Amino acid sequence: MGPTESGKSNFINKLMGYQAKPDARKPVPRTQFIREFVLDFCRDKCYVFVEAPGFDDTRHSDQEVLRTVVDWLRDK
Q: Where are the domains of the chain?
A: 8-18+29-75
Whole-number percent of the chain with pLDDT over 70? 80
**pTM for this entry:** 0.60
pLDDT tens digits, residue range 39-60? 877 778 888 888 888 888 778 8
Residues 28-41, mean pLDDT to the nearest whole number:
75
pLDDT of 2 strictly over 60: yes
b/e string for 40-74 if b means 16 or more Cβ within 10 A? eeeeeeeeeeebbbbbebeebeeeebeebeeeeee
